[in-house]
Amino acid sequence: MTSIKLFGDFDKYLLKLWFEEFQITRYIYKEPILDSMTVDLIKRLCNALKQDSHVFVMSVDILVQYIMIQNNKNIVIEDQVLIVLTVIFICSKIAGEQSDLKPLVISKFYTNITEEDIATKTVNLAEIHVLKTLHHRLPFFSRIDDLKTFLNVYLKDFKLRVDIVGLSVQILDIVYIYYRRLFYKLKNVYKQSPDALQTFQEVITNRLYLPSGILLCALEMTKLKHFMNTETILDEISDLCNINRNHIELLSRYIYDIICVSGNSSSNTVI
């Protein structure tokens, strides 16, 4: 069994420089606050509104940011449906590729869900409210951007007939839906000692941690594992990302377990 392509020393040096630059910024460590049912609902709403995974992932991230701010102020979110739809509406403007949402579409969709009429002006006011609450600070990067960039850079010289990027995005959708379960399953492994828990906080905030685990899982789920040396790839990714291979391997295994348990039925996601 051999790798499709082994990087030369100079290619690997350039990759190493790029990956080091990529690791300058990290995610803020925070415990998940949304359960799988809520995130799955957001995914279904995005599907119904013909929004892609980019909008879904960004919507979850921004909604979490919004809820945390409101929780810190002890403010109860009264119209949760409107807030969720508004966040999707905002994200569709930023990252939407498949459908250009309008306030009228959101207001009609809201009515279909709640059987209550709202004016398009209400949607516009909700948008202003959400943006003000966030202090107009939207994320500079997201996990789906990190995943796609990571894959496009790492796989650019591989001639693959399998759409690993598309498969990986589907896996990311499932990871987001069951992220709370994944997070605490991982944390339970690392909480054996203060040092191990500190290591967990470091790896979970590394922007390359989730993409590397998803890539390894995607390779294992395809026929590529029969003629690609995944062990070599794992060592290579570990070196490039500066993450111990054991962390990546554990993450990949847990992601695969969650996919199997979910039965791939959530949100009509098919792998």
pTM assigned to the model:
0.87
* Other beta carbons within 10 Å of 234: 19
Q: Tens digits of per-residue pLDDT, 144-154?
A: 988 998 888 78
Q: What is the dihedral of CA 207, 167, 178, 188, to 10 degrees?
A: -60
From CA 237, how far away is CA 233, in angstroms rounded?
Answer: 6
Question: Which structural domains are found in the chain, ordered by start?
Answer: 14-28+141-268 (no CATH), 49-133 (1.10.472)
* Helix, strand, coil percent content, the chain, rounded in steps of 5: 70, 0, 30
Residue type, 207: R
Identify which of 84, 196, 95, 75 has the alpha carbon closest to the alpha carbon of residue 139.
95
Identify which of 148, 120, 178, 183 has the alpha carbon closest to the alpha carbon of residue 52.
148
Q: What is residue 142's predicted lDDT score, i.e. its pLDDT?
A: 84
Asked whether the beta carbons of 118 and 107 are under 8 A apart, the reply is yes
From CA 59, how far away is CA 81, in angstroms rounded?
Answer: 13
In this structure, the chain runs to a length of 271
From CA 254, how far away is CA 166, in angstroms rounded?
Answer: 20
One pLDDT digit (tens) per residue for the chain, 271 residues: 334 344 456 666 666 676 777 777 888 899 999 999 999 999 999 999 999 999 999 999 999 999 999 999 999 999 999 999 999 999 998 875 655 789 999 999 999 999 999 999 999 999 999 999 999 888 777 899 889 988 887 887 676 677 889 999 999 999 999 999 999 999 999 998 999 999 999 999 999 999 999 999 998 888 766 667 778 888 988 988 889 999 999 999 999 999 998 765 444 443 3
126 token code pair: 């909700």
Asked whether the beta carbons of 66 and 20 are under 8 A apart, the reply is no
From CA 116, how far away is CA 43, in angstroms rounded?
Answer: 22
Q: What is residue 3's predicted lDDT score, i.e. its pLDDT?
A: 40
- CA distances to 32, 74, 130, 171 from 165, rounded to whole Å, are 25, 41, 32, 10
129 token code pair: 């409210």
Q: What is residue 26's predicted lDDT score, i.e. its pLDDT?
A: 86
